[in-house]
Structure 1
Amino acid sequence: MGVDYYKILGVYKSAKEDELKQAYLKLPAMKGQAEAKFKKISEAYEVLSDPQKRAVYDYQYGEKGLKGQISSGHPMSSDDAFAEYFGFSNPFGGMSGSGGGGGGSTRNGSRVNEDIFGSTFGETIVEEILTIDVKPGWKKGTKITFPEKGNESPNLVPADIAFIIDEKPHPLFRREGNDLVMTQKISLAEALTDYTAHLTTLDGRSLTIPISNVIHPGYKLVVAGEGMPFPKDPSRKGNLCINFYIKFPKRLTAEQKAHVKRAALVP
């Protein structure tokens, strides 16, 4: 862990922001503080008052892991990363705007601290709306970065804010690359006779797909151009792949078995 920042400020690890501030304002006002110790006090407060740096200090690398990033005059830049969740319908057609289930809109709060040692400690909250334009075909893991839109502090370069796209599960479709995969449950009778698949696409269209083939276990129907848009060329789309789950009857009567046997003999 190296230097114990909590001990330097004289607070417990569970200390809240106001407790940290009170301890910080109290210590510099003490007489006879050596310059090196004064720097440590400022450094301790800088780390513990920043949730991101405090998390790194507490749970990952300690003071040594923060060395080289935090110093008494050298600028630092870091990412504030957030996950933004969208359903398949958002990246299917591409959406933007503020709020709702469409585009991604988030409120950014930047804190600017003015440090007057031994006197007052003021802070200003600056709020800004950041809007994410969801492009057609965006995949899970797509990263959108807003440069220097994060927290601000003296001697620090404002952090970047990065959003990572994640996908909510869909009740019907599963995404595999640019393809959409779904499963339809059908009866044995539907599998052996002509079957028509009815489904609604992500953009609200109704598809009617007649199937004249016998649908056997492992049968897959591929509908070209009904998948997800290609991220680099939204005019192209992947395929829709339909798998079938055939519900076999648990039992047959003697008469039904006879019918099946007779039907099986028909060329």
Structure 2
Amino acid sequence: MTPAEAYLDLSVSLLERVRGQLPAIRQAADWFAETILAGQMVHVFGSGHSRILVEEMWPRYGSFPGFNPIVELSLTFHNLVVGANGQRQAMFLENVSGLASRILRNFDLKAGDSALVVSSSGCNVVPVEMAEEFQRRGVRVVALISELHADASTTRHPGGKKLQDCADLVLDTGAPVGDAMVKIEGLETPVAPGSTVGGCLVVNAIKAEVAQRLTAAGQPPKVLTAGVLVGPERATALFEAAYDEHARRIAPYYQGLGAAMPKA
């Protein structure tokens, strides 16, 4: 078996792991649809490469408004690797206690909101504290982790918590300990991670279930759709309508900021 064949076979096992979680996926979709139908937002957060799954949820083709992608460049900008804005700084900041509360200071969260927090290890400080802060403010949290990897990892959270300890529902990407899935003869360490593949399966399964619920409730979502499917004019209209809806949904989360705080 070639390394490529090994990776593809292991990816099939990720698919089966996700399929085995369908009841939990439907539960997450129930919560997210309830939030969106109420005119509110599902907040989606991930640091490091978990950012990929945040952007997979919204905005991209086949996705729709109702999700608030929270992506901090200081935690996710990997392109330069070293030097200013390098990977070392991002990995350091991912474990700075208190940063999550500063991020969420920018949003006036609402009762009835829900959240998806993504972290493969479930052990870095910022995602764990993000989930803690969401729950403290009455937001229901779905965690997306790699269970085997998270169970084998040591948390850096000052209270000893992992992301799965701060969630109302936990979903698993199915990725193995260490994430990388393929062993190469003569190479000490495995290559080719699986968490993104498994995570994308989970995220899109939830997305499809939410779309069905919104449509059944008489509020079909405005889906970002390629012009090759619906024609350029209809595609443009859908994009503009979806972005406008996102703006309307997110606006109330800024309007009440600081209203209850004492004046300086």
Bucket of the pairwise TM-score, normalised by the shorter protein: under 0.3
Structure richer in helix, relative to its length: 2
Q: Which has the larger radius of gyration?
A: 1
Kindly indicate whether structure 1 or structure 2 has the higher relative contact order, using CA contacts under 8 Å at least 6 residues apart.
2
Q: Please, what TM-score do these two structures have when normalized by structure 2?
A: 0.24
Higher strand share: 1
